[in-house]
Amino acid sequence: MTSFRDLPIRRDLREQEPYGAPQLSVPYQLNVNENTFGIPSEVSERIVSRITEVVPKLNRYPDREFMELRGALAGFLGNGLTANNVWAANGSNEVLMQIFQAFGGPDASALSFGPTYSMYPNIARISLTPYQELARLDGFALTADYVASEIRKAKPNIVILCNPNNPTGTPIAKDVIAAAYDAFDGILVVDEAYAEFASDLSVLDLLPGRERLVISRTMSKAFAFAGVRLGYLAASEAVVDALRIVRLPYHLSTLTQAAALAALEFSDVMLANVEQIKIQRDRIVSELRGMGLQPYESAANFVLCAGFSDPAGTFTKLLDQGVLIRNVGIPNALRITAGTEAETDFLLAALRQTLS
C-alpha cells in the first residue's frame, strides 16, 4: 500500500504523524479534559427542539456571519462586548488556525512558553509560521518581567499564552498578560479554554483599548459541548474583520449554530457542575500528595502530577483497570482529568492499587 509519504506531499509534512489523543472505549475516560457530567436533560430537549426547527431549511447554506450566535456569545461574556467583537468556528483549534492564517505565515513568527498546549506548534506548522517555544520558570510559572523581556528579544508577530495553562494547570496573572501586550506590536492571543474553572482569571476586562488582544474560548470544556465543536473568541472589530478574510465560506453549520444557541439559553444549567469538578480536582491534588506523588496546583479541570518512576507503566496499568488518563510527555508526569465524584473514587482506588 502506498504511504502518504510516497505522495508529493509538502516536504515539511513527510515525517509528521496525525495529531490526536488515544480514543479508547473504557469506563473511565479521564484523558482529554472533557466535562464528564454530560448534557442536562432539559438542555438536550432544547437542543433537539432548536435543531428540529432548522432541519427543513438544511437545503440552504447556513448564516455565513452567524450574527445571532455571535450576539448570544457576547451576551454570555459580558464586559460590554457586542456581536461585532465575537467570532466563532469549529472548535477553538479552528479559531486559532484562522488567527495564524491571518497574522502568521512564512514571513511572520509565533512564540509561546512551554510546556503548553501541543496544538500550538502544529497550527504554526500547518500555517507555515515559524514557531518558538521558550521554557517556563520553576513550577511552570511566568512573570511579567520574564515574559516581556523574552518577547522583546524574539520580536514575534504572534504570542500565544494558555491561561490556565494546558497541560500544567498553571494560572497567569493579569499583570503578565498586560506586560506581554505592551512588549511588542503583534497579536497577543490568550487561550482561555479552561477559564470557567478559575475564579477571576479571565482577562476579558483588558480588551478595551487593546486592539491587538485576542481572547480565545471554547464550549468543549466547562459547557460539556466537546462533540458540537464550537470555539469562539473576543477581540476588537478589526481582528474579527481580519478573520473573515481567511475563513472558509459557510464554515459554521446550521446545526452547530442551533445547538450552540440552545446551550447558551441554559448557560447557568450547563455550567452548574463546574464547582463540583473543582472540588474533585482539588481532592485529586490532596489525595495524590498523600500517595507520595507531586501534583501541581491547578486552575483548570485537570491535574498534572509528577513523581511517577514509570509513567508509561502506570498509564498501562490504569488502562488495564479501565481508566484512561494522559501521558503528555513531561518526564515522570501524567495528566488526569477531574470528573465526577464516582469517577474520582475509582481513579484514586485504581492508582493506589497500581502504586502498591
The three grid cell numbers given for residue 153, joined into one nine-digit string: 528579544
The domain boundary, picked from 267, 301, 323, lies at: 267
Residue 211: other Cβ atoms inside 10 A:
13
Of 325, 314, 326, whose CA–CA distance to 353 is shortest? Answer: 314
pLDDT tens per residue across all 356 residues of the chain: 688 888 999 988 888 888 878 888 999 999 999 999 999 999 999 999 999 999 999 999 999 999 999 999 999 999 999 999 999 999 999 999 999 999 999 999 999 999 999 999 999 999 999 999 999 999 999 999 999 999 999 999 999 999 999 999 999 999 999 999 999 999 999 999 999 999 889 999 999 999 999 999 999 999 999 999 999 999 999 999 999 999 999 999 999 999 999 999 999 999 999 999 999 999 999 999 999 999 999 999 999 999 999 999 999 999 999 999 999 999 999 999 999 999 999 999 999 999 98
Is residue 35 assigned to a domain?
A: no
Residues 81 and 210 in one domain: yes
| Residue 84 C-beta-side C-alpha neighbours within 13 Å | 5
pLDDT at 209: 97
pLDDT at 344: 98
Residues 278 and 346 in one domain: yes
pLDDT at 14: 87
Range of the domain at 194: 41-267
Residues 199 and 116 in one domain: yes
pLDDT at 282: 98
Residues 132 and 249 in one domain: yes
Is residue 36 assigned to a domain?
A: no
CATH number at residue 62: 3.40.640.10
CB-based contacts of 38, cutoff 8 Å, min separation 6: 224
The DSSP bridge pattern shows strands 86-89 and 231-234 to be antiparallel
pLDDT at 15: 86
pLDDT at 1: 63
pLDDT at 21: 81
Residues 153 and 299 in one domain: no
Q: Does residue 174 contact residue 181 with C-beta atoms inside 8 Å?
A: no
Residues 23 and 71 in one domain: no
What's the total number of domains in the chain?
2
Q: What is the rounded distance in angstroms from the CA atom of residue 120 to the CA atom of residue 350?
A: 33
pLDDT at 93: 98
Residues 278 and 254 in one domain: no
Q: What is the rounded distance in angstroms from the CA atom of residue 33 to the CA atom of residue 186?
A: 30
Q: What is the DSSP string of 19-75?
A: --------SEE-SS---TT---HHHHHHHHHHHHHHGGGTTSPP-SS-HHHHHHHHH
CATH number at residue 291: 3.90.1150.10
The domain boundary, picked from 252, 267, 282, lies at: 267
User: Side chain identity at 58, as an amino acid letter?
Assistant: L
Residues 236 and 284 in one domain: no
Q: What is the rounded distance in angstroms from the CA atom of residue 218 to the CA atom of residue 355?
A: 35
**Which runs of E-coded beta strand occur in the chain?**
28-29, 86-89, 110-114, 131-135, 158-162, 187-191, 213-218, 231-234, 294-295, 302-306, 323-324, 333-337
Residues 112 and 149 in one domain: yes
Residues 166 and 307 in one domain: no
The domain boundary, picked from 233, 267, 301, lies at: 267
pLDDT at 20: 79
